[in-house]
Structure 1
Amino acid sequence: MNNRYDDKPFLRFVDAWVLKAIGHLDEATENYCEAMVPQLEQSFGAKGSWEQIVEQQMKFGPELPAQIRKIWTDGKARFAEGNGEAPDPVQFAMIFVDRNFGRA
């Protein structure tokens, strides 16, 4: 999974943002994102939380977290029915980002 971010370090933050939107961001990743705020602010000339910087850079609207949560919630049941197991939120986030934002 680490090689996913080798050439696109900002992608890690976009994936984390989607995970946070669906309520599945782990504490270690959130701590990492928070610790990187000064570097994000410097890189993008932006101020705010890591979430706000991602939203600004990606031009995410305020309605997007709710839309992503709905896709996750609606898709979870279908996935479980079709596969007999619960979906992986990390895999969902990566696929969602890749399909919708072209790997940022």
Structure 2
Amino acid sequence: MNNPRYHGKPTLRLLECYVLKAIGALSPADAANLTTMQPKLAQIYSASGTWDQIIATSMHLPGNMPTLIQNMWQKHQQTAAENNISLTPQHFAEMFVDHNLAPQEA
């Protein structure tokens, strides 16, 4: 991905995908790529499990994090609708990660 948002921040996109999966908006292509990357992620983070379990473990996320993300997604969707604003899953994922999970990478 050539988005400058991710330059020097490889974990950022993984966290966004984690959020997208939690709200049921992860694309099939991203899901397939992450499944393919799973062995390498396990090696990098010295963890086991599915790609999202590896990310959750490496970031020390609570077991109920997907539910917390889903609840916040629903709340933000309602607020956006009340204000006639469109909130895409990707934009929500970026906001959620930036405000709650921002990795400290160089």
Task: Find the counterpart in structure 2 of residue 97 from structure 1.
Answer: 97
Q: CA deviation at 1:6?
A: 2.1
Q: CA deviation at 1:13?
A: 1.1
Structure 1 moving runs of 4+ over 4 Å: none
Task: Find the counterpart in structure 2 of residue 86 from structure 1.
Answer: 86
SS of the residue corresponding to residue 43 of structure 1 reads: helix
Separation in structure 2 between the aligned mates of residue 103 and residue 89 of structure 1, nearest angstrom:
20
TM-score normalised according to structure 2 size: 0.88
- Report if the CA contact (8 A) 2:11-2:103 is conserved: no
Structure 2 unaligned blocks of 5 or more: none
Q: CA deviation at 1:85?
A: 4.1
SS of the residue corresponding to residue 52 of structure 1 reads: helix
Alignment RMSD: 1.5
Separation in structure 1 between the aligned mates of residue 85 and residue 95 of structure 2, nearest angstrom:
18
Separation in structure 2 between the aligned mates of residue 95 and residue 31 of structure 1, nearest angstrom:
24
Q: CA deviation at 1:48?
A: 1.4
Once the two structures are superposed, residues 32-87 of structure 1 have per-residue CA deviations (whole angstroms, 9 ceiling, x without a partner) of: 111111211121122211011001011111111111111111110210221x2431
Structure showing greater relative contact order (alpha-carbon pairs closer than 8 Å, 6 or more residues apart): 2
Task: Find the counterpart in structure 1 of residue 54 from structure 2.
Answer: 53
Structure 1 unaligned blocks of 5 or more: none
Separation in structure 2 between the aligned mates of residue 36 and residue 51 of structure 1, nearest angstrom:
11
1:28 aligns with 2:29: yes
Q: Quick one: which amino acid aligns to residue 102 of structure 1?
A: A
1:39 aligns with 2:47: no
Task: Find the counterpart in structure 1 of residue 12 from structure 2.
Answer: 11
